[in-house]
Amino acid sequence: MELLSDLPVADELAARFAEAGHRLYLVGGSVRDALLGRSSGGDFDLDFTTDARPEQIQRLLSGWADGLWDTGIAFGTVGATKHGRTVEITTFRADSYDGVTRNPEVTFGDTVEGDLVRRDFTVNAMAFDVAARELIDPTGGREALAAMVLDTPATPQQSFGDDPLRMLRAARFVSQIGFTPADRVVEAMTAMAGELERITPERVQQELSKLLCGAHPRRGVELFESTGLAAVVLPELPAMRLEIDEHHQHKDVFDHSLVVLQQAIDLEDEDNSPDLVLRLAALLHDIGKPGTRRFESGGGVSFHHHEVLGAKMVRKRLRALRYSKEVVEEVAQLVYLHLRFHGYGNGEWTDSAVRRYATDAGPLLSRLHKLVRADCTTRNKRKANALQRTYDGLEERIDRLAAEEDLRRVRPDLDGNEIMRLLGLPPGPQVGRAWKFLKELRLDRGPLDRDEAEVELLAWARAEGIGSVGSQAAAGAAWASGGAAAEGVPEGADSAGAPEVE
């Protein structure tokens, strides 16, 4: 069978290794995806395994590669670039694990079959002999691939004991490719979920992100939760399975969140890559509900301010998983804002309220639009259509105001330098208070001309006891005579008063 035939880098390497008396095999996802028809020699990275030892690999790559690095040489891996493509070549491995820290005792093997049986899943335990154009499949990976079944080469207990992250990787492959895990794999994941505590947050976060960005994330999340992995990694998720009785009916929050996740994905831009921030926000937008649920008289249930608590919980959990500050803050802000639209009614908001909605969302506005629309999961088509039409109206109002006032750059009508000159203030907190007052005024009334802004600022300053009448008069005279700009404006004076959501 002709497999991955259009890979000149692989052919060059195979010839180089064969001339030195060594075999070279392509392994990993590129082989699996080629059999699935998911790739045809594109720009993906290439992973190889070989009987050559690390020092021999280095010598064979030297003089051939455009770039060479050996940061993984202790584990038998040497990396290189050639023709713009990245390759990693690893000596056959026959590791053993201590079962506590997941640190392997690195030992090198002698056969490709021995290397393959230590890999995570049978669909990833195939190798392609580049020189011989032959598929090596000692664990039935091709058959499992045809059946779309995810199973382990050894027993799942041994595989997951070697590296517990493989359990989370199973959920990721369900999401990415659509595999169905074998029964014994699910049983082992359920029994061994607690072993994930041995894995560093950074590695867990990477797998969770890949899971959420897959083509079938709902299926991956369902496996993640049902096996108990989520209770270890993201305990707020299973906590959303709230008990419901005949007297206090409400939607199952967990199932609702999965529907919102899928609907948010359906609203993503087709030309762009999966939106991790939007998907995290959709999955976690209601995690504050368990902590705010209250049973009301007459059988009702309320979740007052669950968006406020939810934003705090999101921030705490995503930080623990070592997400970047940018991702943490964006997801938390979306969770915080996702409920605000429900105060819009049938369009009763003033222009001031519309400005605040758009300004508080800032660069997240397009994502907030998608999240709010996705959060409509009612089966009542008339109600759903009415909500969507109402939101259409809000978006139109935002677009109109944006065209008129440039809402993306809502700022006070006077900057920090002008505030200090008018009020006779040095750089400091009082300038920030004045800046915030002017921004709130701008949101309430729209753009003001300079004279109006100055009058409002001076009136506010007198009421607040900020600055002296004399200094204000002097400042006014300076303006009239075109006085020089104030020096020493603190960095950030034009962006004061933007509180973090807590």
Cα separations in angstroms, 156 against 160, 174, 184: 6, 16, 7
Q: How far is CA 273 from CA 96, 172, 179, 268, 334, in A?
A: 38, 17, 21, 9, 19
Query: pLDDT digit of tens for each residue in the chain (502 aa)?
Result: 455 556 788 999 999 999 999 999 999 998 999 899 875 445 568 999 999 999 999 999 998 999 999 988 988 999 999 988 899 999 998 766 655 655 666 788 889 999 999 999 999 999 999 999 999 999 999 999 999 999 999 999 999 999 999 999 999 999 999 999 999 999 999 999 999 999 999 999 999 999 999 999 999 999 999 999 999 999 999 999 975 544 344 468 999 999 999 999 999 987 789 999 999 999 999 999 999 988 877 767 888 899 999 999 999 999 999 999 999 999 999 999 999 998 787 778 888 888 889 988 989 999 999 999 999 988 888 989 988 999 999 999 988 888 776 655 555 567 788 888 888 888 888 888 888 888 788 777 777 778 888 888 888 888 888 865 334 444 443 444 343 333 333 333 333 333 333 3
3-state secondary structure 402-450: HHHHCHHHCCCCCCHHHHHHHHCCCCCHHHHHHHHHHHHHHHHHCCCCH
In the chain, the domains with their CATH numbers are 8-142 (3.30.460.10), 162-171+176-233 (1.10.110), 271-408 (no CATH), 416-495 (no CATH)
Residue 288 tokens read as: 């504050």
Query: What are the backbone angles phi and psi of residue 160, rounded to the nearest 5°?
Result: -75, -25
d(CA 277, CA 337): 14
128-144 exposure pattern, b = at least 16 Cβ within 10 A, e = fewer: bbbeeeebbbbbbbbeb
Q: Is 386 exposed, middle or buried (0-12, 13-18, 19+ CB in 10 A)?
A: middle
Per-residue tokens: 161: 């004991």
Element (H, E) at 479: helix 469-480
Assigned token pair, 133: 């154009």
241 in helix, strand or coil?
coil
* pLDDT score recorded for residue 98: 59
pLDDT at 463: 87
